[in-house]
Structure 1
Amino acid sequence: MRFDDDLKETIRGRLATFDICCRTEGHGLKRAAVAITVVARDENDAYGKPGDAAFLLTRRASKLRAHAGQLALPGGRIDAGETPQQAALRELEEEVGLSLDASNVLGTLDDYPTRSGYLIAPVVVWSPRAAAVSPNPDEVEHLYRIPLSELRRPESPEIFSIPESDRPVIRLPTPMVNGHINAPTAALLYQFREVALEGRATRVEHFDQPVWAWR
């Protein structure tokens, strides 16, 4: 998928017409936001083609107290007085050094409740081609630029059952991370694919996470 204005406006338009399902009251969950950030592919990356669009994915630093070493989208807790969009942009700058503003926000997707006690608001952000990134080593062990085409792999998503839950678990295979992207990140990216890239109104709240991600 080409990183160009046509893609940008396609994503913006599809998010604008998507009927968001948000849950902000009465669930006892801590509010959080993540940035699904569309960027140009790194020209030095072996995956994808020059001019491809990609998204940013981090591997969390191993010394973090929560979810150390896991693959995640840039994001974190929503501070008092912040909107999800403001929190996602702040966390994007704090984690990967990418400084953007509200004009770069294309839209949002459904809030997703996690087993670890968070209600995540996914915010879709467009990064200018020349924007620089500088990952914070205290928070990010590795920063990936995953081509959007990886979300369209024929075998993706993988949906399966586990004995600990009556809900199906979702994960996205990609060799770029030597394995899989697991939920909750997989659920958010799958909805991004369905809504923003394919134009299909798809819900993902019913998808569960692997047991090791419940903590």
Structure 2
Amino acid sequence: MTPAPLDDLTAFRALAAERLGSFGHTTVPDAPGLRRAGVVLCAVEHEGVPSVILIKRAYRGRNAGQWGLPGGGLEDGETPEQAALRELQEEIGLAAGPADVLGRLDDFPATSGFAITPIVMVLDDPGPLTPSPDEVHSVHYTSLRKLAADDTPKWVPQPDGGHLLQMWLGPDWRVHAPTGAMLWQFREVVLLGRHVRVADFVQPDWTRR
């Protein structure tokens, strides 16, 4: 019997490469004051279960204490992919290269002034994590099945008539945009095969910091 992509990393890689290959991602155009960043949606096997790595940022500096994906701002001459892979190693000690990358999702225009490019990749044998205490408070895993579950995304009504996305990854683990929006697009495009956009998702005021 063919392994299910949500339960087998090899099967997931093949499916993700196919779906990302047919997905026409959007790019935020350059503009005065715009800064760019690359982040990694990195799938690994954790305790026998295909999962995506998330971090809680250190309680200092930019985005203090917020949920995030490994990644950061571009240095001179870098592409978003190069920045994302560099930051993956600097922040949590995982070495990866272009061959591990399966594709990318839409740039997300964060209210902090960054256009964030999500890079999707798989690591079969990532080795031990070595989080940088200057940048990372803790490292966490969410399974592909949890991301795909019907009750994971919740939409909270707002006074202006909009809805705020919360990705409920655990009883006390709720992730908002920008990271929540990128996780939701990963879920929809890669796990469920539905082409969706997220650039207009509501972002909480505290994500501006």
TM-score, L = length of structure 2: 0.92
Q: Where does the alignment leave 5 or more consecutive residues of structure 1 unmatched?
A: 44-49
- Percent identity of the aligned residues? 37
Question: Which residue of the partner structure matches residue 5 of structure 1?
Answer: 10
Question: Which residue of the partner structure matches residue 175 of structure 1?
Answer: 170
Deviations 1:2-56 (A, max 9, x none): 2332210100110011011111322642101100000101x2xxxxxx3x20000
Q: Secondary structure at the match of 1:56?
A: strand
Q: Secondary structure at the match of 2:64?
A: coil
Superposition pairs for residues 64-75 of structure 1, below 5 Å? 64-75=60-71
Superposition pairs for residues 1-215 of structure 1, below 5 Å? 1-26=6-31, 28-41=33-46, 43=47, 50=48, 52-62=49-59, 64-163=60-159, 167-175=162-170, 178-215=172-209
Does the CA contact (< 8 Å) of 1:54 and 1:146 recur in 2? Answer: yes
Does the CA contact (< 8 Å) of 1:150 and 1:174 recur in 2? Answer: yes
Could you tell me how far apart the structure 1 residues matched to 2:30 and 2:109 are? 12
Does the CA contact (< 8 Å) of 1:161 and 1:169 recur in 2? Answer: yes
Q: Secondary structure at the match of 1:199?
A: coil
Aligned length, in residue pairs: 204
Deviations 1:100-129 (A, max 9, x none): 111001100000001111100000011123
**TM-aligned CA distance change 1:27 to 1:166, over 3 Å:** farther
Q: Secondary structure at the match of 1:26?
A: coil
Question: Which residue of the partner structure matches residue 3 of structure 2?
Answer: none
Deviations 1:166-199 (A, max 9, x none): 64321100217x2301111000000001111111
Does the CA contact (< 8 Å) of 1:167 and 1:206 recur in 2? Answer: no
Report the AA paired with residue 30 of structure 1: R
Could you tell me how far apart the structure 1 residues matched to 2:29 and 2:86 are? 20
**TM-aligned CA distance change 1:22 to 1:130, over 3 Å:** closer
**TM-aligned CA distance change 1:204 to 1:130, over 3 Å:** closer
TM-score, L = length of structure 1: 0.89
